[in-house]
Amino acid sequence: MIIAVLSDASDVSGVLPSLALLPHKIALHPLRSSSVRDIHGADVALVDVTGTNLLAARDLCRGVAAAYSELPIAVAIAESSVIALDGSWVVNDFLLPAASPVEVDARLRLLLHRQRPTGDNPEDSHVASIGGLNIDETTYVARVDGKPLDLTYKEFELLHFLVRNPGRVYSREQLLQDVWGYDYFGGARTVDVHVRRLRAKLGREYEKVIATVRNVGYKAVDPEEME
């Protein structure tokens, strides 16, 4: 197994001591966005979050996910920082520095197994698509004609919810309940604001994916079918 480790540490033992004891091939790269292009061919990407800015580390994880949609991503993270992890990180697992060699090896093998298709013609059930818009719920990356979109967590959730239910009309209240959750106390205008931002990021060709149903709410449609 080839593990690409993105870290500013001089040795992998400074990131995850147990990893240095395992028989895997380690490729150590600097902890910066320019390293993303250098990890091609790795089986797993491991991002060192133990001594860096969490927001910068999250952005790096998102960059790796955008560049390699099938590459499993794990983070080495201090236990005190685990609370910061959420879906916007688009990582598949996390490892604590104190994890034993047995645990690290098992987690890495499971990561690799989960990412590999189980049949000759696996269905991309985790990808919702309309035209050239593809939304991958496993990596939390949305792409328009292959180009990743820079979406916030809620923007992604809203777009994914609509696109995986194409043609179905949802009121603003339904979207608040299904996307934001029962404990959200904001008003319906929140939905309108997120839709406006999504349309701007989708661009002129795909902004019509989110169609307004007057006096009701919104639905997802294929823009080509509207022409």
Is the model's pLDDT at 118 over the cut of 50?
no
φ, ψ dihedrals at 31, nearest 5°: -85, 75
Q: What percentage of residues in the chain have a pLDDT greater than 70? A: 91
Confidence of residue 49 (pLDDT cuts 50, 70, 90): very high
Q: CA 79, 84, 85 angle in degrees (round to 5)? A: 90
User: Using an 8 Å Cβ cutoff, are 154 and 140 in contact?
Assistant: no
Confidence of residue 119 (pLDDT cuts 50, 70, 90): very low
Provide the pLDDT for residue 122. 42
Provide the pLDDT for residue 111. 85
Question: Hey, what's the torsion of the CAs at 40, 95, 155, 149, to 10 degrees?
Answer: -10
Is the model's pLDDT at 94 over the cut of 70?
yes
161/214 Cα distance (integer angstroms): 20
All structural domains of the chain: 2-115 (3.40.50.2300), 127-226 (1.10.10.10)
Is the model's pLDDT at 124 over the cut of 90?
no
Is the model's pLDDT at 145 over the cut of 90?
no
- The pLDDT tens digits for 71-85 are 899 999 999 899 888
Give pTM, 2 decimals.
0.54
